[in-house]
Amino acid sequence: MESIRRYQWNGSLNIEVLTDSAIVLAGTQEEKCRVSFRIPRDTYLTIYLPYILERLEEILKNNVTDRYKGWWFSFDQVPLDWTYPIGVLYDSLVQLDPSFRNSTMTSDTVNVWKLVIHHDEKLPPGIIPIINGMKQIQEYWMHQWKQACFVLNGSSKQIMSLAKADSMSFWYSILNRDQKTFDRILEKILQNRDTVKNIPLKIHVASSEVKLIESITNASTYDPKLTLNDILRRACPQIFSAEEPSCFAKPIVQGIEVPLDSLILNLFNCFMSFDGFLHVSVSQVKK
Amino acid sequence: MSQLIESESDEGTTSSEVDNGSSSKNSFVVHNELEFFAKKLNQFGLESDEEVESERTTNETGLKLEEHRSKLLGKQITSSTTSKSSVKSSSSNDQVSREIADETSQRLDKVQIKFQSIGSIRQIIPQVARISSYQPFSVVITFLKKKLKVDTVHCYINNSFAPAPQQTVGDLWNQFKVQNELVVNYCSTVAFG
């Protein structure tokens, strides 16, 4: 399990961000409007906004006054909700069948997710405005953890009683990608993994045509024999029916296709995300 | 005593469209379809009473949103309102309206929310409200802001955490209900940081 956690923590995505032409100085070469970088799958994209804007500052029409407010990303003209980990958005929206991806890619192939960055005073509907910079992102993340903690333990006490230094180190471990610190504080929240009450779970079902993510937050009552299939059948009975195994939808966790008969507690222990939830993307494979 | 959040006006639905990406992306479709259904209803000469009509429209909005949600989940809805319309011509109006009512009541599950104020902010009366389970939590925040006539309000579940605004109220109710009520604590400042 240790090695799985390590692979997952180090999992990354190659991203190329193109700047929306509406905010770029006229006559700028297209090459200068692009920023390419690699970020961890298990993080919020908005955390990297200052870095991206630093690289784009020269070509923008207006001076950057706030490095968070009014900025958003889109993929295929669909605005991305920053409140989900970027890896989850990728798994849900790109909907690449992992087995197909493996067969077409060699070790030299670089997979790049192309996004567009926009800026406007008015954000598209559904995007939560960031008005308080990094602090707001941190608070949002902390509340996600509190919710997850409530689901796991029946109250948020474990996370609310963390010392200030611990709770700050917890957040900095995300920013500095320090798995050791993260795991140390995680142990305090999840004191006994075998006696959890419920498992915090988010299921993301995206439709391939509209690229819209429908998220179902589920707290499955802990039962050692509960499998992913049991939960998916209950949450999305239209996709995962009891009679026959689904041939057009696959559950993806952290970019990996996971077997339907996986025990949910095992999945949670191995693939839990940095916000305390187990995110499952239902990839609807094109027929 | 309880109240219906949606019954305040259609704004409840509108705000969900503003705040919630999944609904808003299809707001045009929903609006167009609403017009279409309104026309259909007129054609079939259903109740002309304005109140019933408006209620029906609200229900249909809910129905369409719910339908959209189901579609997203890959469900092929064969008993959609459109197909109901075609059934109408061969059956009596009474039967059809009963069918629609049955279907609506099945899909429009409402959940109960209990509001509890923290600190100096006033307690809203009545304390309990009912809301459709598919609505995002942002609708609850909008409702509270309107009711309290304030610009910001911080909402928490069970005196613990602030849920994501896009999370559906039904999901929250299922997981955190206390005696069949979702307890929402609200405060004018940050209460649980």
Supply the CATH number for residue A251's domain: 3.10.20.90
Domain-located, residue A4:
no
Under 8 Å between Cβ of B169 and B136: yes
Tell whether B32 and B98 lie within a shared domain: yes
Q: Which residues of B touch A207 (CB under 8 A)?
A: 71-72, 74
The minimum CA-CA distance between A117 and chain B, rounded to whole Å, is: 18
The structural domain count of chain A equals 3
pLDDT for A187 beyond 80: yes
Least CA distance to B77: which residue of chain A? A238
| Weakest-pLDDT range from A76-90, A146-160, A270-284, B76-90 | B76-90
Tell whether A126 and A13 lie within a shared domain: yes
Least CA distance to A209: which residue of chain B? B72
Domain-located, residue B192:
no
Task: State the pLDDT confidence band at A139, using cuts at 50, 70 and 90.
Answer: very high
Rg of the Cα atoms in chain B: 18
Strands B154-157 and A12-19: unpaired
As a whole number of angstroms, the distance between CA B114 and CA B130 comes to 9
Q: Which of A146-160, A170-184, B75-89 has the highest mean predicted lDDT (pLDDT)?
A: A170-184
End-to-end CA distance of chain A: 34
Among candidate residues B88, B107, B126, the one where a domain is terminated = B107
Domain-located, residue A260:
yes
pLDDT for B61 beyond 80: no
User: Which is nearest to A266 in space by CA: A209, A225, A215, A213?
Assistant: A225
Query: What are B153-181's pLDDT values in tens digits?
Result: 999 999 999 999 988 899 899 889 999 99
Residues in chain B: 193
Among candidate residues A130, A153, A171, the one where a domain is terminated = A130
pLDDT for B37 beyond 80: no
Q: Is B167 on the interface with A (CB under 8 A)?
A: yes
The minimum CA-CA distance between A209 and chain B, rounded to whole Å, is: 10
User: A160 — alpha (psi -120 to 50), left (phi > 0) or beta?
Assistant: alpha
Which of B25, B166, B174 is facing A210, going by the closest CB pair? Answer: B25
Among candidate residues B56, B75, B107, the one where a domain is terminated = B107
The residue behind tokens 């006006």 is B9
As a whole number of angstroms, the distance between CA A263 and CA A276 comes to 18
State whether B25 and A212 contact (CB < 8 Å).
yes
State whether B24 and A126 contact (CB < 8 Å).
yes
Q: State the pLDDT at residue A229.
A: 87
Q: State the pLDDT at residue B55.
A: 39
Task: State the pLDDT confidence band at A109, using cuts at 50, 70 and 90.
Answer: confident
Under 8 Å between Cβ of A213 and B72: no
The structural domain count of chain B equals 2
State whether B25 and A214 contact (CB < 8 Å).
no
pLDDT for A108 beyond 90: no
Number of Cβ pairs < 8 A linking chain A and chain B: 93
Q: Is B45 on the interface with A (CB under 8 A)?
A: no
Domain-located, residue A195:
no
Tell whether B174 and B124 lie within a shared domain: yes
Q: State the pLDDT at residue A219.
A: 60
User: Which is nearest to B137 in space by CA: A128, A275, A199?
Assistant: A128
Q: Which residues of B touch A249 (CB under 8 A)?
A: 74
Mean pLDDT taken over chain A: 87
Among candidate residues B107, B126, B157, the one where a domain is terminated = B107
State the average pLDDT over residues B15-28: 41
Q: Is B168 on the interface with A (CB under 8 A)?
A: yes
Paired tokens of A211: 């690229």
Query: What are A244-256's pLDDT values in tens digits?
Result: 666 678 889 998 8
Q: Which of B29, B73, B178 best probes binding to A when mutated, by most A CB atoms within 10 angstroms?
A: B73
Under 8 Å between Cβ of B72 and A212: yes
| Weakest-pLDDT range from A31-35, A248-252, A266-270 | A248-252
Domain-located, residue B193:
no
State the average pLDDT over residues A45-51: 96
State whether B19 and A238 contact (CB < 8 Å).
no
pLDDT for B89 beyond 50: no
Tell whether B79 and B117 lie within a shared domain: no
Q: State the pLDDT at residue A222.
A: 63
Supply the CATH number for residue B175's domain: 3.10.20.90
pLDDT for A28 beyond 70: yes
User: Which is nearest to B190 in space by CA: B148, B157, B153?
Assistant: B153
State the average pLDDT over residues B34-43: 48
Q: Which of A141-145, A197-201, A232-236 has the highest mean predicted lDDT (pLDDT)?
A: A141-145
Boundaries of domain holding B66:
2-107
Q: What is the DSSP string of chain B?
A: -EEESGGG-THHHHHHHHH-HHHHTTHHHHHHHHHHHHHHHHHTT----HHHHHHHHHHHHHHHHHHHHHHHTT---SS-HHHHHHHHTTS-HHHHHHHHHHHHHHH--EEEEEEEE-TTSPPPSSSEEEEETTSBHHHHHHHHHHHHT-S--EEEETTTBPPPTTSBHHHHHHHH-BTTBEEEEEESS-S--
State the average pLDDT over residues B18-35: 45
Q: State the pLDDT at residue A83.
A: 93
Tell whether B132 and B182 lie within a shared domain: yes
Tell whether A104 and A41 lie within a shared domain: yes
Q: State the pLDDT at residue A76.
A: 87
Q: Which residues of B touch A125 (CB under 8 A)?
A: 17-21, 24-25, 27
As a whole number of angstroms, the distance between CA A218 and CA A65 comes to 39
Q: Higher model confidence: residue A38 or residue B74? A: A38
Q: State the pLDDT at residue B160.
A: 93
Q: State the pLDDT at residue A230.
A: 86
Tell whether A105 and A146 lie within a shared domain: no
Specify the amino acid at residue B83: S
Tell whether B155 and B173 lie within a shared domain: yes
Q: State the pLDDT at residue A61.
A: 92
Boundaries of domain holding A75:
9-130
Domain-located, residue B68:
yes
Tell whether B46 and B102 lie within a shared domain: yes
pLDDT for A183 beyond 90: yes
Domain-located, residue B131:
yes
State the average pLDDT over residues A125-144: 94
What 3-state DSSP class applies to A268? helix
Which of A143, A160, A217 is facing B162, going by the closest CB pair? Answer: A143
Task: State the pLDDT confidence band at A126, using cuts at 50, 70 and 90.
Answer: confident
Tell whether A88 and A160 lie within a shared domain: no
Tell whether B115 and B97 lie within a shared domain: no
Tell whether B16 and B80 lie within a shared domain: yes
Tell whether B19 and B85 lie within a shared domain: yes
Q: Which residues of A touch B25 (CB under 8 A)?
A: 125-126, 210, 212
As a whole number of angstroms, the distance between CA B77 and CA B52 comes to 26
Q: Higher model confidence: residue A139 or residue B15? A: A139
